[in-house]
Structure 1
């Protein structure tokens, strides 16, 4: 890594940190209302998806289209764990950390299981198998019983980590 790349990464980290701090201050002082806070959350989720696509397609050169499926598995499993942990006497930040770690662990395990048969695939075939996985996850989540589908996840406890986002 040459000096220009290090400088570029440092500038990016500082810019993202400053943007985060500015957004937190604006949200705390109610300059940004709840509607725009929700939009900012979806923007951040899409930035994560775009970064993962940039990693696989831009740096690795592999066309994988299953990112939404892996994110759905991680989000769904962490939401279910959050529902079960809401009655535990732990600090709220601990709930968030455990749920995020669990979601990442489950998504990584599913990714490993999908990656084993797809290990030798390249190009269109990798895109087809990962797109198929994403569709399988979508159909499975939509066809679960209501107590496990998205209807029950609306009852998750409201989370207040740094500022009041409930």
Structure 2
């Protein structure tokens, strides 16, 4: 579920296709997206061990530890594009505004939090050309928790 009003339009990120853009100003720390309608999660070995599920790995995202969802129906949240300097902070399936965001801002997240540990995305970061490689669960949780705490304390740290 996307909380603020938004629109889908051509992304500002080269090669990214469509993106999700705010239609209203959002304050730092405000929830941008929240989980809803999640029927179940899968262990990564379940995803890769099933021909039906492994064909949908492109539509999977890590939520916590070794648990992933699969969303082949492409809800609008799928238009959140990657950035190493994201406007949104992914934390346990929620996306929080990483700073005050004016209307018109494209919402981005760091895909390293969504990928399996060590897995490299099929494309590179558009701004840096660097590979996007999944973080370990511990590193993802540590960095996103630290960044969220800093946001809520009124300071901004790198996500």
Which protein has the larger Cα radius of gyration, Structure 1 or Structure 2?
A: 1
Whether the TM-score (by the shorter chain) exceeds 0.5 is no
Give the structure with the larger strand fraction: 2
